[in-house]
Amino acid sequence: MTNTGSTALQDKVALITGGAGGIGLATVRAFLRQGAKVMIAELDQDRAQQAAEQVAAEFAADDSVAEGSVAGVAVDVADYAQVAAAVARTVEVFGRLDVMFNNAGIAGGKPLLEHDPEKDYDPIIRIDQDGVYFGILAAGRQFRDQGGGGVIINTSSIYGEQAAELAFTYSAAKAAVISFTRSAAYELAEHGTRVVAITPGRIATPMIRQFSPELQELFASELLRNKLTEPDEVAEVVAFLASDAANVINGTVVSVDDGYSVFKQRFDLPAF
């Protein structure tokens, strides 16, 4: 098989957290197709390694994807030392770091007044908020030490920009990601580092697919195309943002929500 895709990320090195599934795994594939080398970071080393082997096998016959272009590393993004170690491992394997995609996250929901803070607040804040902070910090330091440059992309959410059902903590964490993105872009600009956030909407990941067909249909109705967004579609946007073609996109939020945020819901109008 011969690759006919873009080479916009040729020889760039990326670390993708939450890279073994959903948007993360789709982005691994998109980056490889465009010539990048990718380190898949997951909480479990076996899961990270299995994903790396799976993707390597998929691209084995692709002339433009060099052998050894993908590897796996274990990381708990809620632990700065582990995030820094994952960055160091990426540099050890591939020689440098060019793109940090802070994508790992968890979801969960419960009415606010029913919260147990240890279960319904702390874990989401540690992973979805602190994990992005740690990724920005570790990658930013690596980019500085390399002499500057680099791109940091953070996964926020439509929930980071508005109130939503059963999402008190999740929305707060994702809103923090947007603030982190703006502040990091400001502070890291002197090193030539860009920082961008994406806000996915209703994505057809296993998290969504576990729900009933009726609920999935409701989710789809909230999007302008009236269908769930595929992870591959988000991955292509992330790949573009990581490329030099996106050099003027910096410190901003890129919506990948198929219009979720521009309207409420379709309904039949009454007669006027």
* Residues 108 and 164 sit within 8 Å (Cβ to Cβ): no
Assess whether 159 carries a catalytic annotation.
no
Structure-token pair, residue 171: 């929305």
* Residues 153 and 99 sit within 8 Å (Cβ to Cβ): yes
CA 245 remoteness from chain centre: 19
> Mind giving me the DSSP string for 158-169?
GGGGS--TT-HH
- For residue 96, give Cα distances in angstroms to 71, 85, 139: 14, 13, 11
Structure-token pair, residue 61: 């016959």
- Of 121, 170, 186, 260, which one is the catalytic site residue? 170
How deeply is 251 buried, as exposed, middle or buried, from its count of CB atoms within 10 A (0-12, 13-18, 19+)?
A: middle
Residues 6+ apart with CB under 8 A from 215: none
Q: Could you say which DSSP state residue 257 is in? A: S
Rounded to the nearest 10 degrees, how much is the dihedral formed by the CA atoms of 15, 21, 27, 32? 80
Q: Rounded to whole angstroms, how far apart are CA atoms 76 and 19? A: 13
Strands 13-17 and 99-102 come out as parallel
Instruction: Please identify every residue annotated as catalytic.
Output: 170
